Structure 1
Amino acid sequence: MSPTAVNGSSTSREHEVTGRTPVTPHGTAPGPGHPVDLQAARAALRLALPEPGSKFSQDDEWCVVAEPDGSWAEYRFHDYDRIFGVRGLYEKIFYDVLGCDSPRFMVGLLNDALASADVPAGSLRVLDLGAGNGIMAEELAAVGVEHSVGVDILPEARDAAERDRPGLYDGYHVADLTALPASEREALASHGLNTLTVVAALGFGDIPPAAFRTAYDLIAPDGWVVMTIKDAFLEETDTSGFGGMIGESIRSGALEVVRRERFQHRLATDSSPLLYEGIVARKRGPLAG
């Protein structure tokens, strides 16, 4: 199987997929929390996708990346520890080549909901679950959110956030929320959290239902819940546990949906759209189940 090279030139697959040159996730020039050298690292990377027509399930997608010695190394898209270890690679794959728009889209949806409720963005105290290298925190800061706490199970994610977007989080916890120690729970609770964001991280085993429940329970009553989830995980045939938990919570009113839109999360490696549900809700009670 021959990969299709992506190097940022006008004839590359990157140009065909995105039609744009690399930019920051919310389309602005690099700011204090987004060093210029991240942009340079991102632009310099060369990668190749599987040949056109090859189709993989979302949790089996991959690419190959040119190494400094001229060799090529394969990266599976869910090998986040390895991807975060290469500066700019996460942005190169998912934003520059595959057109990911979820953080910007969801923050826009949240901002609309806040405006309708006459709630200032500066009043939010956010728990960003599956925080990765901080792209969601960057988007939140751009609309006026002043306090965000990151949580991820990978130390490589925390290291990448501190390397690429320093100062955006008021704390970053490397923790397994399915087995959260009391000390970590108390540390998170001390932030007075009233908003949960989980963007492009639910399902596929990255964040199991038990971890989502733990994070949800840390949010104050009537707080905000902002999440994306692949539509298949909300169907009756879903076996991940999310369909029943979230679906029942919406039906019972424990999750009061104020915005919900189906949107294109990104492209698959074969250029077909990956569609997600974007949900902004208020926490009105405990999750079902």
Structure 2
Amino acid sequence: MAPTAVNGTGNGTGREHEVLHRAPAPAGVAVPAPPLPADLQAARAALRLALPEPNSKFSQDDEWCVVAEPGGAWGEYRFHDYDRIFQVPGLYEKIFYDVLGCDSPRFMVGLLSEALAQAGVPASTLRVLDLGAGNGIMAEELAAVGVEHAVGVDILTEARDAALRDRPGLYADYQVADLTRLPVGQRETLAGHRLNALTVVAALGFGDIPPAAFRTAYDLVEPDGWVVLTIKDAFLEETDTSGFGGMIGESIRSGALEVVRRERFQHRLATDASPLLYEGIVARKRGALAG
């Protein structure tokens, strides 16, 4: 099957209009796009990639593209091969933001900003645990609205290395850790940050962050802290087998998670240009998670 090529500026045949279809910011909340380092912008612009034919349908866990390598050959990258993607400066942004129109970090920070304003809570008072932090895009958006203390956690060393390379200085700390079996020393280190907010954006489900890891991160957040998460709507349905549907759904029903804002929005486009819809939730931690 022939791929659809995308050039170095992020525009490709049949794709120019699709990349512009992004979820709007909440009314009355201005969330400016932070400037990127010049070298990252240059690397991102120079990359060339190609998608499968638009009429090819893949599950979200099996999506892929091919990328032009320095020697001229084309290498295949599965979208969930984050360890490989993060090693190429700008490739994550190229695939998910320039080509597929991902807008989840900006959208969710907009929801959070609105909720904080309604509660009279300055963003500067947040001490955020950014779970599934990747290469720091969420921290960049948080910093743009006044968050001064963010701690990244990711299971991949490549993610931490990419964050330090591409967005230095945004995290007060960045721990590479498996939260399903968090060592005592790392738990104490994270607890020492006195975390009062948790962000998990575009990271839950598909085996990337299992329910047990989410629970560990949630337990590190102080009572009445803020919880900001996105999750594919299918994971919250009654037929869900991932464990998130019961955990999050029951926690909301019991009041352990007090929902402040909840929006269904377009996370990004699939490779066939169909929308991938997620639930965006901003909540307060009022008790232990269900289950």
TM-score, normalization by structure 1: 0.95
Aligned letter for 1:3? P
| Aligned twin of 1:2 | 2
| Aligned twin of 2:25 | none
Residue 241 of structure 1 pairs with residue 243 of structure 2: yes
| Aligned twin of 2:18 | 17
Aligned letter for 1:85? Q
CA RMSD of aligned residues (A): 1.3
- For 2:180, what is the secondary structure of its paired residue? coil
Is contact 2:10-2:45 (8 Å) kept? no
Aligned letter for 2:150? S
Structure 2 gap ranges (5+)? 22-30
Separation in 1 of the partners of 2:195 and 2:11?
Answer: 45
| Aligned twin of 1:126 | 128
CA, structure 1 residues 87+13, in 2 after alignment: closer, same or farther (shift >3 Å)? farther
CA, structure 1 residues 261+67, in 2 after alignment: closer, same or farther (shift >3 Å)? same
Q: Select the residue among 160, 163, 167 that pairs with 2:162.
A: 160
| Aligned twin of 2:171 | 169
CA, structure 1 residues 50+197, in 2 after alignment: closer, same or farther (shift >3 Å)? same
| Aligned twin of 2:74 | 72
Is contact 2:33-2:141 (8 Å) kept? no
Question: 1:217 Cα deviation (Å)?
Answer: 0.1
Is contact 1:122-1:145 (8 Å) kept? yes
Question: 1:268 Cα deviation (Å)?
Answer: 0.2
Residues 36-115 of structure 1 aligned to structure 2 (within 5 Å): 36-115=38-117
Question: 1:13 Cα deviation (Å)?
Answer: 4.3
Question: 1:9 Cα deviation (Å)?
Answer: 7.1
Aligned letter for 2:95? I
Question: 1:14 Cα deviation (Å)?
Answer: 4.2
Aligned letter for 1:17? E
Separation in 1 of the partners of 2:70 and 2:288?
Answer: 50
Question: 1:29 Cα deviation (Å)?
Answer: 6.2
Separation in 2 of the partners of 1:28 and 1:245?
Answer: 33
Question: 1:18 Cα deviation (Å)?
Answer: 1.5
How many residues end up aligned between the 2 structures?
Answer: 281
CA, structure 1 residues 9+120, in 2 after alignment: closer, same or farther (shift >3 Å)? closer
Deviations 1:82-126 (A, max 9, x none): 000000000000000000000000000000000000000000000
Question: 1:28 Cα deviation (Å)?
Answer: 3.9
CA, structure 1 residues 97+27, in 2 after alignment: closer, same or farther (shift >3 Å)? farther
Separation in 2 of the partners of 1:204 and 1:46?
Answer: 27
Question: 1:16 Cα deviation (Å)?
Answer: 3.8
Aligned letter for 1:167? G
CA, structure 1 residues 19+261, in 2 after alignment: closer, same or farther (shift >3 Å)? closer
Is contact 1:14-1:96 (8 Å) kept? no
- For 2:128, what is the secondary structure of its paired residue? strand
| Aligned twin of 2:271 | 269
Question: 1:15 Cα deviation (Å)?
Answer: 2.1
Is contact 2:18-2:273 (8 Å) kept? yes
Identity %: 82
CA, structure 1 residues 143+27, in 2 after alignment: closer, same or farther (shift >3 Å)? closer
Is contact 2:227-2:284 (8 Å) kept? yes
